[in-house]
Amino acid sequence: MQSLLTFGLLEAVVEQHIPATKLIKDEGGTLVMTRDCISQIIHDFVERVRSMMVNILTLHFSVFEPLGADAPSMVCFIALVSKALVNATMVFPPGLARQGFSWSVIWVPDYRQVITKEMVADGWCPSVVEYLVSTFSVSSLEYVRSQGPAGETGISHGDCSPTACAQYRINEETYAPKHASSCRWLTAPRGVSCEYSKPPLEEVKQLVLENEIPVITVVDGSCDGSARLQIHRASNTPYVAISHVWADGLGSTTEKGLPTCQLRWLSSLVSKIQPGAAFWTDGICIPEADHIRKKAIGMMARTYNEAVAVLVLDSGVQLCSSAQPPDEKVLRVLTSGWMRRLWTLQEAVLSKELHLAFADRTLLLTDLMPPPSDMLLSPHLTNLAGELFRLTKLSKHNSYAIGDVARSLRWRGTGKPADETLAIASLLGADASDLVDLGPERRMMRLLQDIGRFPRNILFLLGSKAASRGISLGDGIVHGCPWRRRRRHDAVHPGT
């Protein structure tokens, strides 16, 4: 039995005879079993399988060899037609037998490299290209190529990599908020200025210390060109929370304030969503003082969850007209900087209503979701919209699995990796206020303790491991783990 479950098991799996000398060694005249060669045995097995897969793939595509350089594009065109036909059959009853296989993703040798080079040459950021090529179907990629990147002027991606866009690297020492595109200061003659406006600092601090969310309204102007900002308690004032990325120019603190033109613009947008409502944005409602800031971060889940709506502001999306076809609007949101930042994930997922500012008006995210009829007839739209649908799962279906978190995190980044645990705490049912005062590794350990229960397969996930004694599940825990979120707690972090 021992031989059957050792030698026999290994030989059955790797389909190769294994000499006894690889599993038995002599220690002082006693033969003992050893695992010294197991890694090499498995490595050889994996390499044989990989080589076989390459040979099989080459054989399958050899039929296209007479096409020469046109082979990749021809195979992809066949896949596009086939995917459209397969989608169309979904209108028939589910019980009807179907034949064939999925045409969603079909990689031809060298096609990945070809499409990557072409998209980067067209002006796409390498990190966005890597995301699209690694995630979406052939039909989606062909559509993306036909549309090209958003028409942003003066944007260069020469310093970007497949893992990060250089446009979102923030230098806190030199960072300054931007003025609204409509600000008269940008085109006015010298001597005309747009002052910064800020709320009463002590009022903001006091509300945060009282566990209240401070929200503001723009009341009127003053003689120095700034606006008077009135502070309200969110507990008795309807408000809209702003979701943005700092690289677009709305980052700041209560002490420094924001350009008055930006605040008036925000107030105007909010009034169209909820007339008379106040608004909350981290650049004006979170003080710089460390202990106050940490407490405000601990209330972030409440901030976005209790808002009547969340308004998304992204410079790329704002270049797109709301009159554009549904698939283009979905594409611009999907490839926006807002979709690639870590902190904005929870701001979207925790919202009751998610509005996005386009060039001419705001639209609900749910209005971008294609109806079933369009989904069947437009495979690329169905494929692209899937990632946006994931943002609505909690608010619309009261369901958000750890698999959803893992998939969303894979392509999102942050300028502060040490704060990643804070950014996902609320989505895993934990409370960020319990984590903000801890160091990065202790935050992870505390998060694991707060979650409490995990599926067995997390032990085999890849990723760095915690060095602390007693907990070694590690930072890779949230990637690919099919554990469902158990409860809704507070915790969201604003960030770059």
Are 390 and 317 members of one domain? yes
- Residue 311 located in a structural domain: yes
**135 and 208 inside one domain:** no
Tell me, yes or no, whether 244 and 382 share the same domain. Answer: yes
Q: Give kind and range of the element (H or E) at residue 32.
A: strand 30-33
Give the per-residue pLDDT at 402. Answer: 73
Q: Is residue 445 part of a domain?
A: no
Tell me, yes or no, whether 125 and 200 share the same domain.
Answer: no
| 85 and 45 belong to one structural domain | no
Q: What angle do CA 366, 371, 372 make, to 5 degrees?
A: 135
Domain-located, residue 369 = yes
Examine the fold and report which residue of 335, 364, 398 is the final residue of a domain before the chain moves on. 398
Q: Are strands 30-33 and 24-27 parallel, antiparallel or unpaired?
A: antiparallel
Is 412 a member of any domain? no
Domain boundary among the residues 398, 432, 455 is at 398
The predicted model scores a pTM of 0.76
75 and 48, same domain (yes or no): no
In this structure, the answer to whether residues 277 and 336 fall within a common structural domain is yes
411 belongs to a structural domain: no
pLDDT at 486: 34
Q: Let me know if residue 266 belongs to a domain.
A: yes
97, two tokens: 């037998």
Shared-domain flag, residues 48 and 146: no
Last residue of a domain, one of 398, 427, 444: 398
CA distance 239 to 352: 12
Asked whether residue 218 falls in the same domain as residue 150, the answer is no
Identify the pLDDT of residue 461. 62
Position 79 scores a pLDDT of 78
> Taking a C-beta distance cutoff of 8 angstroms, is the pair 237, 278 a contact?
yes
Structural domain contains residue 491: no
- Parent domain of 288: 192-398
Query: How far apart are alpha carbons 374 and 376 in whole angstroms?
Result: 5
In this structure, the answer to whether residues 203 and 339 fall within a common structural domain is: yes
Q: Give which of 428, 243, 429 is closest to 341, Cα–Cα.
A: 243
- With b meaning 16 or more CB within 10 Å and e meaning fewer, what string describes 24-59? eeeeeeeeeeeeeeeeebeeeeeeeeeeeeeeeeee
Residues 305 and 385 in one domain: yes
Please state, in angstroms and rounded to a whole number, the distance separating the CA atoms of residues 313 and 354: 11
Domain count for the chain, please give it. Answer: 3
Sequential pLDDT tens for the chain (496 residues): 556 666 788 888 888 888 888 888 888 888 887 877 887 888 888 899 988 888 887 787 777 778 777 777 777 778 778 777 777 776 666 665 555 555 555 556 567 888 889 999 999 999 999 999 988 888 888 899 999 998 766 678 989 999 889 988 888 889 999 999 888 877 766 666 789 999 999 999 999 999 999 999 998 755 456 789 999 999 999 999 999 999 999 999 999 999 999 999 999 999 999 999 999 999 999 999 989 999 999 899 899 999 999 999 999 999 999 999 999 999 999 999 999 999 999 999 999 999 999 999 999 999 998 877 676 677 788 889 988 988 998 888 887 777 778 788 888 888 777 778 888 888 888 888 888 888 877 888 888 788 776 666 666 666 665 555 555 544 444 433 333 333 333 333 344 5
How high is the pLDDT of residue 491? 31
Pair (75, 125) in one structural domain: yes
In a domain, 471, yes or no: no
